[in-house]
Amino acid sequence: MKKQTLSPVLALFLLLALAATLAACAAAPDTAAENVAIDAAEGTVVYTGYIDVVPPKYDRVSPFFEGLAQVELGGKWGIIDKTGQEIVPLKYDWVRLSFDGIPYAVREAMKYHGLEAKKYALMYDGKSDHDLSHIKFAGPAIAELNGKFYLIDIDDKTGQETPLPEYDHVEVFCEGLAAVRLGGMMGFIDKTGKVIVPLMYDDVRDFCEGLAAVGLDGRYGFVNKTGKKIVPPKYDDVKPFSEDMAAVGVRDGETVKWGFIDKTGKEIVEPKYDYVGMFSEGLAVVEYDGELGFIDKTGVEIVEPMHDNVGYFSEGMTAVELEGKHGYIDETGQEIVSPKYDMAWPFSEGMAAVSVGARGSGEGAGYSGKLGFIDRTGQEVIPLIYDFDFFRGTSLQEYTEDNQKFSEGLAKVKLDDKYGFIDKTGKVIVPLKYDGAEDFSEGLAAVLLDGKWGFIAVTGE
């Protein structure tokens, strides 16, 4: 379907960029790197190089959030800090940090795809690039070992574990509560393990903006953090609240029509659309008869459904597709960049990645092209000289894509199957020598070399 924004592009991204001088990194890597990252965001830092911080030795890693990263080696998971010290020993079958500020789609993707979530979040809400700048810990980490679940204390960096009662599954915390399942029924526990919302529902979804979707006998509604029903289960499907609005679906024959409610359960937009996205910057994607546009929170169609594909608004602009070509419009629907690119990404820090190339034919076909960056006027600030390609298979497991964005002054780029980082002038700051790389997060970026993952930091002045 056309529910996926910006055609099959999209790069779900994970985040922030950073730096620190070599001496400062050695003395205090966390503070120095984050201070340089702030200066970089304000345009007062010039990156000069990079240093190795955690040598490549892990099979898989996550980006750093709040100073911690999940790592896996030999099938066992743990948590490290920015010095590489193991805060939680690598002994668990899996371990997940709990965060607030992670968008719903990324959390949902993480449940089924773990650290590969960035490849799949697009499937859950149509966004390819999520704002992860407001992430903070939501509670203890959750770990599993031999079918037993544990709360892991990460506040004091000791990794102390507390066993939970017997559950079939435990989700990570969100807004202070974690979903649990036992015998096919679901509810929520708090950070101490106490049951807050009784295990009485067939399905529950994470809390967003103080409310969680709950399902009973095939119908969905919303409860608050005490378990009180705010919206009774009466919809065939729902999406989480975003900017005080939640999408609700009502079955119409073989299809589901979508509209929106507010936090009192009042219907604001009647269910009439074939698909709707979540609100971002006051607007939501809607689809009607195969064409896409945008509505505001009153239901007024600000951008009439007429596009073959659309993105989501970021920094006041979104990419749109017409007759196979991508350009950009503003929040009034006015064309800012004419459709001339084969692929286009959301704006980040005043820049957007664009690409020209060719798609293969048939189901699951991929794309191969050249990539560069434009500014908000449409000027190609960084020429389209870097490689971009992806393969989109017939199942989620075969779906691959790459994140393309600037984060605090740096963007990951690829040439001849090697990755590095450039700044906003196009200068190469980290040589293109790695087999894989992820965006910088809190001063560090994960890099892949000879089959193992480690972390680097950039330096600046």
371 and 415 in contact (C-beta within 8 Å)?
A: no
Q: Looking at residue 29, what is its pLDDT?
A: 42
User: What does the block give as tokens for 23?
Assistant: 């001496």
Rounded to whole angstroms, what are the CA distances from 48 to 20, 421, 431? 10, 12, 12
- pTM, two decimals, is 0.78
User: What does the block give as tokens for 226?
Assistant: 């005490």
Length of the chain: 461
In a domain, residue 165? The reply is yes
Q: Looking at residue 384, what is its pLDDT?
A: 97
Domain that holds residue 268: 22-431+445-460
In a domain, residue 217? The reply is yes
In a domain, residue 335? The reply is yes
In a domain, residue 8? The reply is no
Q: Which contacts (CB < 8 Å, 24+ apart) does range 353-357 have?
A: 353/11, 353/404, 353/405, 353/411, 354/326, 354/380, 354/384, 355/384, 355/388, 356/384, 357/388, 357/389
324 and 344 in contact (C-beta within 8 Å)?
A: no
Q: Looking at residue 136, what is its pLDDT?
A: 62
Q: How far apart are the first and last CA of the chain?
A: 48
In a domain, residue 370? The reply is yes
In a domain, residue 16? The reply is no
**Distance between CA atoms of 60 and 70, rounded to whole angstroms?**
8
3-state SS of the chain is CCCCCCCCCCCCCCCCCCCCCHHHHHHCHHHHHHHHHHHHHCCCCCEEEEEEEEEEEECEECCCECCEEEEEECCEEEEEECCCCEEEEEEECEEEEEEECCCHHHHHHHHHHHHHHHHHCHHHHCCCCCCCCCCEEEEEEEEEECCEEEEECCCCCCCCEEECCCCCEEEEEECCEEEEEECCEEEEECCCCCEEEEEEECEECCCECCEEEEEECCEEEEECCCCCEEEEEEECEECCCECCEEEEEEEECCEEEEEEECCCCCEEEEEEECEECCCECCEEEEEECCEEEEECCCCCEEEEEEECEECCCECCEEEEEECCEEEEEECCCCEEEEEEECEECCCECCEEEEEEEEECCCCCCCEEEEEEEECCCCCEEEEEEEEEEECECCCHHHECCCCCCEECCEEEEEECCEEEEECCCCCEEEEEEECEECCCECCEEEEEECCEEEEEEEEEC
From first to last of the 461 residues of the chain, give the pLDDT tens digit: 343 333 333 233 222 222 322 233 333 344 445 545 545 545 556 888 899 999 999 999 988 888 899 999 999 999 999 999 999 999 999 998 886 655 554 554 444 334 444 433 333 344 444 444 455 666 799 999 999 999 998 877 778 899 999 999 999 898 999 999 999 999 999 999 999 999 999 999 999 999 999 999 999 999 999 999 999 999 999 999 999 999 999 998 889 999 999 999 999 999 999 999 888 889 898 999 888 889 999 999 998 888 777 777 888 898 888 888 999 999 888 999 999 999 898 898 999 999 999 776 655 567 789 999 999 999 999 999 999 887 554 433 333 445 688 887 899 999 999 999 999 999 999 999 999 999 888 889 999 999 999 999 998 87
In a domain, residue 415? The reply is yes
> How many domains is the chain built from?
1
Q: Looking at residue 368, what is its pLDDT?
A: 86
313 and 331 in contact (C-beta within 8 Å)?
A: yes
Q: Looking at residue 404, what is its pLDDT?
A: 85
β-bridge partners, 276 = 286
In a domain, residue 12? The reply is no
**Distance between CA atoms of 95 and 73, rounded to whole angstroms?**
12
